[in-house]
Amino acid sequence: MSDTELCYLTATEALKRFKAKTLSPMELMQAVIARAEQIQAKYKPFTFTHFEEALGLARKAEAKYAKGARTGALEGLPIGIKDESFIKGKPTSFGSLITRDFVPDVTSPNNARIMKAGGIVHARTATPEFSCATYTNSRLWGVTRNPWNPKFTTGGSSGGSGATLAAGTSLLAMGSDIGGSIRIPASACGVVGYKPPYGRNPDDAPFNLDPYCHTGPLARSVGDAILLQNVICGPAPTDIASLRPKYTLPTAYKPIKGWKIAYSLDLGFYEVDKEVLANTKAALDVFRSLGATVEEVDLGWGIDALHTATGHLWHLFGTYLAQHHLKQHRKLMTEYAIELGTFGKKSKAETFLASMEGAAKMYATFGPMMEKYDAFICPTTALPAVKADFTLSRDKIRINGKLTELPTDLAWVMTPVFNTLSRCPVLAVPSGHASNGVPTGIQIVGRSYSDADVFQAGLAYETALGGWYNSARTRPQI
């Protein structure tokens, strides 16, 4: 097996090979690091790297497998961790010049669980400054580019995590999602991403208390997403919002024959790119071929649904940036972080109240509709991707030649509405590619706290297509 083929193994397959002693963690780590060193300068999926330490940990994992000793659920796997969560004693920059030298004295609960399970953090994955953009570029780390077409973004804010998986430089990756930041990179990079229901996975304060905020896995297969999700989920003593008891996803599921699936191509108000529409319709045909009834529904939503999301984000996230950074460090901040902080300064309590009332109005149609269906499907993004170096002051978002209505970078993504409906699980999976090579994706949305449903649908869909990244033909040509 070539080094490239090693780099594109699924995590579940790599673990099987470790246990069968047909592959060692050292072999895999060496291949992944070599590939990372080859592509980092052009694509920039990583910020900080810990390659020497990772090789040492891989050597220890190799010894465990050789002896037949007890191993963790992720033992020996190279895992990219988003550069916004903490690992004690290691730098966390948040993609910002302001915090470039910050070193935490605690480890985030997700990261602690990953490392306890034997996962090896060989690198931190790139994020826009303070994770507040739908693309990944920053003054500190530069532009992270899409392995499928470097002219385009990987999405944001977990863009480095999407990029490292597509490029074959990690087997698993972590992300966070406050407006789509797991699902957008999953779509733009052609990988799988999971936004769990609020509270399913622990998070760090203070945003563990924001119901829009979620942590979750990114992977190259649905099975790998399940593997990582089962490690990180469950109550944490530092997070009062984390749910009890721990919820463990099944790894095998029954067919979805007889399911009823609802869909909307535009959520009632988005302009959606023609290629995204075509790929979404093709994905819906796959579900029909699996024996599901697939029906279009009218959610009764309008552009107010997106204003509901932005009202919440600006009031909490924007105010956080304004309070903690904008006053003191404006000259060091990126344009998009300044913009969000400025929105926060202007926000009022009435804005937040309106967002709560808007969320209730949205679920008043979505919730009853979902009582009749097993899952809901829509595109993940309305456009395959914006340019890698996108900036709002210079660039406009046009879809099918039309200028989008909302003057923020959220105008091209169809994800924030499901942060508003934060208790609904959402699995993002690939739906194909656009003519420019950039992947497209769909969101599989479940009833509140019905995590297993979206994985059952996602795994059936993936199996019908034969998976992703299985051959050189189905991988980025880098």
Q: Which one from 82, 195, 347, 431 is the annotated catalytic residue?
A: 82
Residues 6+ apart with CB under 8 A from 15: 74, 75, 76, 77
**Residue that is written with structure tokens 């095998």 in the block:** 252
Residues 6+ apart with CB under 8 A from 52: none
Distance in angstroms (rounded) separating the CA atoms of residues 250 and 461: 16
3-state secondary structure 332-390: HCCHHHHHHHHHHHHCCHHHHHHHHHHHHHHHHHHHHHHCCCCEEEEECECCCCCECCC
Q: Which one from 108, 157, 242, 264 is the annotated catalytic residue?
A: 157
**Residue that is written with structure tokens 């000259």 in the block:** 331
Distance in angstroms (rounded) separating the CA atoms of residues 11 and 152: 27
Q: Which of 233, 296, 201, 229 is nearest to 459 (CA)?
A: 229
Q: How many CA atoms lie within 13 A of 257 on its CB side?
A: 3
One DSSP character per residue, 130-178 reads: GG-SSS-EETTTEE-EETTEEEEE--SSSHHHHHHHHHTS-SEEEEEES
Q: Which one from 131, 181, 242, 450 is the annotated catalytic residue?
A: 181
Q: Which of 23, 76, 73, 32 is nearest to 51 (CA)?
A: 32
Longest dimension (CA), the chain: 63
Q: Is 181 a catalytic residue?
A: yes
On whether the CB atoms of residues 362 and 385 are closer than 8 A, the answer is no
Q: Is 151 a catalytic residue?
A: no
Residues 6+ apart with CB under 8 A from 333: 96, 97, 98, 129, 325, 326, 341
Q: Is 264 a catalytic residue?
A: no
Distance in angstroms (rounded) separating the CA atoms of residues 170 and 148: 16
State the sign of the Cα–Cα–Cα–Cα dihedral 174, 179, 180, 184: negative
Q: Which amino acid is at 132?
A: C
On whether the CB atoms of residues 213 and 176 are closer than 8 A, the answer is yes
Residues annotated as catalytic are: 82, 157, 181
